[in-house]
Amino acid sequence: MRDRDSTHASDLREIEIVATNFKRRLSGVTSTIVQLIPKQIELGYHIATLGPGLPADLPKLGWVRLFGLWTKPRRHRVRVWHARRNNEMLVGLLLRSVLRMPLKLVFTSAAQRHHTGYTRWLIRRMDAVIATSTRSGSFLQVPHTVIQHGVDLNRFHPPETADDRMVATGLPGTYLIGCFGRVRHQKGTDLFVKAMIELLPRYPDWTAVICGRVTAEHRGFGDELVKLVTDAGLADRIRFLGEVDDIKPWYRRATLYVAPSRNEGFGLTPLEAMASRTVVVASDAGAYAELIVPGETGAVVPADDGEALTRAIAFYLANPEETLRQGENAVRHVRSDFALEKEATAIGDVYRRLLIAND
């Protein structure tokens, strides 16, 4: 695989798709690219990345090699330029329409809001548009294809070893409830903490963990949550673990996962949890409501509704056997509808239509 990746990146004639990532800092979009591109290569797509902040083992183009995109690839008359941000669309548009490079432009939109006039102007000039959910598609004013994100089932899977079990954490209790992601108001971390302060005294078998980075600008927010937990006398049962080296085992150790975001682009964490045999209670931010089957793989509540979130969580804490049953459902659900291969194949169909139409 690595040899083939290196060939793709070194021989420009072999590259048919350029996947752009013009943001150095890790984001949900970057995480999607990191998971998706190896699967696309595995399925036979000749793809290379352009931009910073991606793992070294992904095939890459350097900025200087952009000038080589005037040459056609070996098998087709055009290449695909896949953008996921405004600046990526703009550069693609300049290369295609000003410098006349043989490119077809694809844009993937995850936004759950009305686009600015500038963004709409860019989107109208794309050759194909993908929406990551029905909800994000509802904000587009152009024809588009809905392709939901998938999850890598080799990386996210049910418990297999002793390290995947709650007992491996050394934490008190029998069951673990988790909330993962950056600690900030947007992510609803405070809603989760307040729900735990209310519920855990009534359910001594459960312990909560919050895994995620607290950036400098949100340090005061994070400190206030720690104080709330300490003042409630629950510091031993509501643990702030910070940014862990590997989040995957924590999904497997948890029996219940909570995604309380106030707003979200798409949001992969519910899929990662369900693939790990973990039930999910989520807000209806992002695409969460399109991922969960209420009453079968978890529950969905209105965003920013702390009372509704607490009630939904309480049901699962009070009924651990039902929680375990729904966890089994969750695995089947993700394997059936949200495998990463399904997403990669659907995006590949969009690429293929653009490439073949110009042969």
Tell me what pLDDT residue 10 has.
66
Tell me what pLDDT residue 25 has.
75
Tell me what pLDDT residue 1 has.
31
The pair of three-digit structure tokens given for residue 86, joined into one six-digit string: 């405004």
Tell me what pLDDT residue 352 has.
95
Percent over 70 (pLDDT), the chain: 97
Tell me what pLDDT residue 340 has.
95
Compute CA 330 distance to the chain's CA centroid, rounded to the nearest angstrom. Answer: 17
Express each pLDDT in 38-74 by its tens digit.
999 999 999 999 999 888 889 999 888 898 999 999 9
Backbone angles phi, psi at 238, to 5 degrees: -125, 100
pLDDT grade for 150, boundaries at 50, 70 and 90:
very high
Express each pLDDT in 231-290 by its tens digit.
999 999 999 999 999 999 999 999 999 999 998 878 889 999 999 999 999 999 988 999
The pLDDT of 188-208, averaged and rounded, is 98
Tell me what pLDDT residue 232 has.
97
d(CA 143, CA 259): 31
**Three-class SS state of 81:** strand
Count how many Cα atoms sit within 13 Å of the Cα of residue 140 in the half-sphere of its side chain: 25
**Strands 298-301 vs 279-283: parallel, antiparallel or unpaired:** parallel
pLDDT grade for 24, boundaries at 50, 70 and 90:
confident
d(CA 4, CA 10): 10
Complete domains list, the chain, with CATH: 2-150+340-357 (3.40.50.2000), 162-337 (3.40.50.2000)
Q: What is the pTM of this model?
A: 0.86
Count how many Cα atoms sit within 13 Å of the Cα of residue 107 in the half-sphere of its side chain: 28
**Nearest C-alpha neighbor of 16 from the set 351, 353, 357:** 351
d(CA 17, CA 86): 18
Of the two residues 26 and 84, the one the predictor is more confident about is 84
| Cβ neighbours around 180 below 10 Å, total | 22
The pair of three-digit structure tokens given for residue 26, joined into one six-digit string: 């890790």
Environment class of 90 (CB within 10 Å of its CB; exposed 0-12, middle 13-18, buried 19+): middle
DSSP string, 115-144: PPHHHHHHHTT-SEEEESSHHHHTT--S--
